[in-house]
Amino acid sequence: MNVVPFNAGLLKLTIKAQSGVVYDVDLSEFSVGGNLEHVPARSKHAWAGDFRGRPLFAMEIAELFQLQRPAPEASRSMRHVVRTLFRFFDAVEVKHGVEINCVGDVTDAQGPMMLEWLASETSKLYSRCKTTLDALRRFRGLPPLFWPARQTDSVSTAEPVDKEAIRHLFNAFKHEARCIKRMFKEGEDLASRGTSPRGDTTLVREWALPENRAWIVNELTRERLHDKREFKIHGAYRGLAQSGWKGPTYLAPNMSERGREGIVGALRWFYPSYQDTAVFLWLFLLGTGWNLSTALGLDVSEDDAWSQAHPHSDQFAVIHAFKARADRHQFTLSMMKPEWHPYRIVRYMIERTKVLRATLSYRLDLARNDYALSPTVAKSGKIAELEALVRSPWLYHTVNKIGEVSAFGHADSAHLGPIARTVVATHGLLERYPSLEKIGTSDARDAWIGYAYVQSGYHVLLTQLASQHANIRTLRHYLKSRRYREFSEKQVRKVQDTVFAEISTGGVVDPTRLRLLVANGTITAEQERRLQDFRQRTRLGLGCLDPTNPPRQIAPDHKTGALCRVQRCTGCQHGVVFRESLGPLARACAELIHIQRTIPYAAWSGSSLEDELASIEETLKSFDQTEVAATIREWSHKLQTGEVKAHDTYPIY
């Protein structure tokens, strides 16, 4: 056994996460061993068992923490994973007599053993254990473990929250938000009628009047919030803190009586507390279909940092936020005037939390000055924390510390769910919509994606674009419910029935006929004649089911009864692709690429030319890609040499 002297100092680390947040983490348990006796009382119920210490392994884990610099939430998850690994190593040593003292002692053969040992656990825990071991080995210059893949997740039978349930929940939150706005209006009205009560030394006569308490709070917090000491300096603490003085009558969902008492209650007449801000955050989540981490990524330090004008309509704005987990920006459209649309919600929160943000900016300046005098890692972490808070629209003043300002974070997901469930119960929605019984922040996105899937005609690609997922694999997680599987199974049965019906007629099974029969249920004699006549093909080599009646979004200026002049067939519901369509489609693709190279980017970006190219490229994916590439190269050569000219009559927008 390799013996390493225990040095607590090497395993008690101060980590500055990549986000800038600084926190302390103690990894000593992995060196001396984990024991129930040393577990905090609040966590004893979740303790899965003791494990022996492995000093070498503990040092490797400490090195991983210092190199990866995980966020505090990820740190807790990593330590949970390492505890699971150490318990598994104990089981291997007992059963097989093989000691595991460092990551180099872990072998490929132990992968199947761990799968068997974790049989009762979720496969995600096994995956996280394997990922952690591979990261440790990579930093030690060792090859990754050849462990088997985790077991496939069981198919979910839970039904998503349906559209009607979400709509009624949204309306319930709107009711709560109106109550909060009325509370702020009540505070402003009271303050306008009040006067200073500081001359009342008895703390009974003038301080008992709510309008005077509202006046003094409003007067002292016009620029920023004050802490307990500052309220005492201004002679307002004793009067506001008297027991029995009540603030607003309204209590937000899940808020205790503490929300209307003392200074904190008086502050709620003007500034949102935790549950107040949660109501508006829920409205934003339900309105955008974003998950919580994306909504928390909004940066409102500057207007351009979170919204931009829509390029084609002055009624809309484009809201954007950076999603750190996906390492990409997310976008959503919102109307700018309706009160409960996402844009107006964020605007309202920016205005309502202006004083809270000024408080954070004041404390940020103090922290920077303190750091300039004596720099430390902890102080730089405090600066990063305050900078992150200033950027957030989801600010609130805390009820347990006067004058303290904070913002919603990832850990608040566990508290947002109960707030929504309280709203469900208060408004009597549970009986009509049982799916709301366990509503959480992720359900808002699930329901939004489900709605997009159904509205798009169960079109996976369109749903992927609407949800802004990087790939289909991520989207499949949201489409596993029974409701969506039933549709897919019905479509498969429809294809099978149509194929055998065509076979029974004694004719050749034609893929084009098959697609039309599955999609429309029938083909008229006129449509069949037109599709078989090569002279009826469009400029892109496609057939058309209704050439005199193109959809309005394809040809907005179409004249009734005339043939379609636009012929943007790949994006049209009437277009039918044949095997022979490859040549015309490849030529159109080559022409568009040629045009893109010859015009300014500003003229190309966002135009119908760009949309047409994307649509044609997507259609060409159904052909053999080697043949597609060869045909496009052939047409591109002809265009470059001047043998043919590009078709340039596309409508431009």
311-370 residue pLDDT tens: 888 888 989 888 766 667 788 888 999 999 999 999 999 999 999 999 999 999 999 999
Q: What angle in degrees, to the nearest 10, is found between the helix axes of 354-373 and 377-391?
A: 160
What SS3 state is found at 326? coil
- Predicted local confidence at residue 526, as pLDDT: 66
Which residue pairs from 42-50 have beta carbons closer than 8 angstroms and sit at least 24 positions apart in sequence? 48/83, 48/84, 48/87, 49/87
Query: Which H helix or E strand runs over 519?
Result: helix 511-520
pLDDT tens by residue, 250-287 = 999 999 988 888 898 999 999 999 999 999 999 999 98
Looking at the DSSP bridge assignments, the partners of residue 16 are: 22
- Predicted local confidence at residue 4, as pLDDT: 43
Average pLDDT over residues 85-107: 93
Q: Please give the backbone phi and psi of residue 331, each rounded to the nearest 5 degrees, phi first.
A: -130, 150
pLDDT tens by residue, 481-526 = 555 566 677 777 777 777 777 677 766 666 666 766 666 667 666 6
How far apart CA 474 and CA 148 sit, in angstroms, is 22
- Predicted local confidence at residue 3, as pLDDT: 42
Cβ contact 426:420 at 8 Å: no
What is the Cβ-side half-sphere exposure of residue 246, based on CA atoms within 13 angstroms? 6
What the block records as the tokens of 365 is 């300046």
Residue 166 contacts by C-beta under 8 Å, 6 or more apart in sequence? 286, 444, 447, 448
**Alpha-carbon torsion 459, 462, 466, 469, what sign?**
positive
Closest by alpha carbon to 652, among 613, 604, 618? 604
Average pLDDT over residues 375-394: 90
Residue whose tokens read 């905090």? 40
What the block records as the tokens of 491 is 């479509």
Please, what is the Cα angle at 645 between 642 and 651, to 5 degrees? 150
What burial class does residue 275 get, using C-beta atoms within 10 Å of its C-beta: 0-12 exposed, 13-18 middle, 19+ buried?
buried
Which residue pairs from 608-611 have beta carbons closer than 8 angstroms and sit at least 24 positions apart in sequence? 608/568, 608/650, 608/651, 608/652, 608/653, 609/650, 609/652, 611/571
How far apart CA 83 and CA 61 sit, in angstroms, is 11
What the block records as the tokens of 500 is 């055998």
Percent of the chain with pLDDT over 70: 84
Residue 534 has pLDDT above 90, yes or no: no
Least trusted range by pLDDT, from 124-128, 229-233, 368-372, 537-541? 537-541
How far apart CA 469 and CA 284 sit, in angstroms, is 19
How far apart CA 309 and CA 453 sit, in angstroms, is 27
End-to-end CA distance of the chain: 73
Cβ contact 118:73 at 8 Å: no
How far apart CA 176 and CA 281 sit, in angstroms, is 12
Which residue pairs from 618-622 have beta carbons closer than 8 angstroms and sit at least 24 positions apart in sequence? 618/461, 618/570, 619/570, 619/577, 619/585, 620/582, 620/585, 620/586, 620/589, 622/577
Cβ contact 348:280 at 8 Å: yes
* Residue 330 amino acid letter: Q
Can you spell out the DSSP letters for 344-362? HHHHHHHHHTHHHHHHHHH
Exposure pattern of 330-362 as b/e (b: 16+ CB <10 Å)? bebebebeeebbbbbbbbbbbebbebbbbbbbe
Query: Which H helix or E strand runs over 383?
Result: helix 377-391
How far apart CA 321 and CA 471 sit, in angstroms, is 19
What the block records as the tokens of 6 is 């225990």
- Predicted local confidence at residue 172, as pLDDT: 96
Percent of the chain with pLDDT over 90: 38
Best mean pLDDT range from 322-336, 390-404, 434-448, 591-605: 390-404
Residue 6 has pLDDT above 50, yes or no: no
Cβ contact 4:57 at 8 Å: no
Q: Which residue has the higher pLDDT, 622 or 130?
A: 130
Residue 155 has pLDDT above 60, yes or no: no
How far apart CA 355 and CA 351 sit, in angstroms, is 9
Please count the other Cβ atoms lying within 10 Å of the Cβ belonging to residue 218: 19
How far apart CA 344 and CA 350 sit, in angstroms, is 10
How far apart CA 98 and CA 107 sit, in angstroms, is 11
**Which H, E and C letters describe 311-325, residue by residue?**
CCCCCEEEEEEEECC
Cβ contact 317:303 at 8 Å: no
Can you spell out the DSSP letters for 423-481? HHHHTT-TTT-GGGGG--HHHHHHHHHHHHHHHTTS-HHHHHHHHT-SSHHHHHGGG-S
Residue 248 has pLDDT above 60, yes or no: yes
What is the Cβ-side half-sphere exposure of residue 271, based on CA atoms within 13 angstroms? 31
Closest by alpha carbon to 424, among 154, 111, 607, 165? 165
What burial class does residue 8 get, using C-beta atoms within 10 Å of its C-beta: 0-12 exposed, 13-18 middle, 19+ buried?
exposed
* Helices (H) then strands (E): counts for the chain: 27, 11
- Predicted local confidence at residue 457, as pLDDT: 62
Mean pLDDT in the chain? 84
How far apart CA 207 and CA 211 sit, in angstroms, is 9
Least trusted range by pLDDT, from 133-142, 210-219, 537-546? 537-546
Least trusted range by pLDDT, from 60-64, 190-194, 461-465, 538-542? 461-465
How far apart CA 7 and CA 5 sit, in angstroms, is 6
Q: Please give the backbone phi and psi of residue 158, each rounded to the nearest 5 degrees, phi first.
A: -75, 140
What SS3 state is found at 16? strand
Cβ contact 606:311 at 8 Å: yes
Please count the other Cβ atoms lying within 10 Å of the Cβ belonging to residue 463: 23
